Amino acid sequence: MQTEDLSSQPFFGNNGEHLAMSPKSLLQPLDQVLLSAEEKLKKQSLEEVALREEIAKMALKQVSTSKALKELMGFQTQARLEKEKMEANINEMEDLKKEKTRWSDLSCQWLEEISSLGTELSVFQSHNQHLKEENARVTLKQVSTSEALEELMGFQTQANEEKEAMEAKINEMEEDFKKEKKSLGKELLVAQSYIYHLHEENAKLMMKDDSTSEDLEELMGLQTQAKEEMEAKLNEMEEDFNKEKTTWSDLSCQRFEEISSLGTELLDAQSHIDHLKEENAKLTMKDDSTSEAFKELMGLQTLAKTEMEAKVNQMEEDFNKEKTSLRTELSDAQSHIDHLKEENAKLTMKDDSTSEAFEQLMGLQTQAKMEKEEMVAKLNEVEEDLTKEKISLRTELSVVQSHIDHLKEENAKLTIKDDSTSEAFADRMGLQTQAKMEKEAMVAKLNEMEEDFKKEKTSLRTELSDAHSNIDHLKEELLDSRRQAEREITSLQESFSIQIQESSARISATVDHWREVIRGTEEEAATTLRESKEAWQGRFKELEENIESKRGLISSLIDKMRASVDSHRQTLNLLSRNRSELCESQKSIESKHEALEETYQTELTEKENSYQRRVAEMVSRNELEKLLLQKEAEGICRTSALEEEIQQVIREKRQLQI
């Protein structure tokens, strides 16, 4: 039973998986055959050790059977515990691999979210730039250049504020990225310490066998690979963030250059308009009677200009406030989505607390619904305020325009009295028509701004609906993952219960079998001691013949193994023409086989010598009959086992030939 439990450990299975994972597909069947041969030789050595232990136990069982049963149960429990520990270590390594893949997926998601934020910011920036260009075009058509200059200064201050906000946001994103990097580093250190702890536990459990060095090397390779992949992901995220930062700085520089170019164009237009005003003043100053009316008209015009400037500035400030509020709402929604994603990642890593996670999910769902309603209400409120301001601005603009038209008519009536002011009257009529055209253009621009705001509102609503659909999708994924985890837990519990039942049944069967064997051996020993005292010499000769026949079988098996090794050497020599790596593996395999052959032969010689010494001792103590019976039973078992192994070797050779 000890040999069966030791052979059922997944050590050689892990080596087979490592070979299957290697890209050398041509060497896979050969390596598998060599590993199977090595495994069989190790099993034979373990069986020899177990047979020696069982011989000693059978000799001691005549005196103390209870002690042998206790030792057997202890060996079984020890083998079972070691097997469970190895399975637990393998499961922990698989969990670590799953966590590594999960962290890589999360890093990819964070990169996608950062890119989506960059695209959204670029869209908002382009929209704001478009609005500023439209406002600049509208202001360039007006007569009063002071308003355009002040508006340009406002745009410059706004651009500076937006630049500062953008730099603050970039710094905040950089700090968040550094925090995430630190947290990932801490988690990587924790995982590293946990892997080291697993290494120590695995080394403590598996230092009994020399062949565990390959598993340790494989584990260290996986550890270094995971560490390199995590560092590469972090470096890639940092490079992407630096690239985004440089692109944003380039865009801000381009915006400042465009604003400066617009300022120069506006100054040129202002100088041209001042020149036209001077020409108009020279023409109108020919009549002294119209100077006072002209001054009054200019005063009213400046008053209307200041009022219009104040209204436009107020409208621009309100629009900027609404724009910033919408941006904050969008950033809050995005942060809420990120929070939900983090909660989803935390909840997927928790298998035991499903009920609490479900309650938390329901709370988050209600919170998301409330935030959606608040967002819709805020959008409606912003739309109503903008429409009200637009209506009031149009009414004030119409009043101011009617007042300006009235003043122009009065001025025209005053200037008609003098024949010398005909040119000025024509100029004023041209100005009046130009003012009407500018009024129509202003109304068209207001309508266009209203349409742009409606489009922006619909785009924000679509983004909000997309965000909520993403939240619902994440919730569905969370529920699916939780259900899958529950199903896996139930299946694992069922499999564990089945394994426990099977192991208990096997243990009970083995205990019953050993009890029956002990009883049979005791009865046979008692009967044979009474009946076969005279025939012990003949049986001793038969035992020697059996030992010689077994020795011949073992030598034939060794010859067959050597022949298989020679065939494998030939195949390795053929493959070594194209691959230099096979030389090292061939040398290691030859050394292993030679060492195994030497150990096997030394063990056989030692065993024969111990058998002869023990036979002499048993003859001197009149207990040779018991030992002969035990050796006969052991010889039968070993011959059957060797025959099965020979048949397996023949089958494997046939499979390799096929």
- Give tens-digit pLDDT for 227-252: 566 666 666 666 766 666 566 656 65
Residue in this structure with the two tokens 């107020």, named with its chain if needed = 314
Q: Within a domain: residue 75?
A: no
Q: Within a domain: residue 85?
A: no
Are 381 and 499 found together in one domain? yes
Q: Within a domain: residue 291?
A: no
Q: Give the model's pLDDT for residue 578.
A: 54
Are 240 and 360 found together in one domain? no
Last residue of a domain, one of 284, 316, 342: 284
Last residue of a domain, one of 255, 284, 313: 284
Phi, psi of 163 (to 5 degrees): -65, -45
Q: Give the model's pLDDT for residue 517.
A: 72
What is d(CA 245, CA 7) in angstroms, rounded to the nearest whole number?
A: 59
Q: How far is CA 185 from CA 92, 94, 177, 375, in A?
A: 20, 21, 12, 37
Q: Give the model's pLDDT for residue 66.
A: 55
Last residue of a domain, one of 531, 564, 588: 531
What is d(CA 113, CA 340) in angstroms, rounded to the nearest whole number?
A: 13
The structural domain count of the chain equals 3
With beta carbons less than 8 A apart as the criterion, state whether 28 and 655 touch: no
Long-range contacts of 402-409 (CB under 8 A, 24+ apart): 403/300, 403/304, 404/300, 404/301, 404/304, 404/435, 405/432, 405/435, 407/296, 407/297, 407/300, 407/301, 408/297, 408/432
With beta carbons less than 8 A apart as the criterion, state whether 593 and 40 touch: no
Q: Give the model's pLDDT for residue 325.
A: 66
Are 527 and 423 found together in one domain? yes
Q: Within a domain: residue 599?
A: yes
What is d(CA 254, CA 232) in angstroms, rounded to the nearest whole number?
A: 33
What is d(CA 71, CA 77) in angstroms, rounded to the nearest whole number?
A: 10
Are 436 and 526 found together in one domain? yes
* Containing structural domain, residue 561: 2-61+532-657
Q: Give the model's pLDDT for residue 212.
A: 44
Are 325 and 275 found together in one domain? no
Burial group, residue 275, by CB count within 10 angstroms (0-12, 13-18, 19+)? exposed
Helices (H) and strands (E) counted in the chain, each on its own, are 12, 0
Query: What distance lies between CA 407 and its chain's CA centroid?
Result: 73
Q: Per-10-residue mean pLDDT for the chain, 658 residues long?
A: 39 40 46 65 68 63 55 65 68 67 67 66 67 62 54 64 68 69 66 62 55 53 63 65 63 60 61 63 52 58 63 64 64 63 57 50 64 66 68 67 65 54 61 72 73 74 73 75 76 76 74 72 68 65 71 70 70 62 63 71 74 65 64 73 74 70
DSSP category for residue 142: S
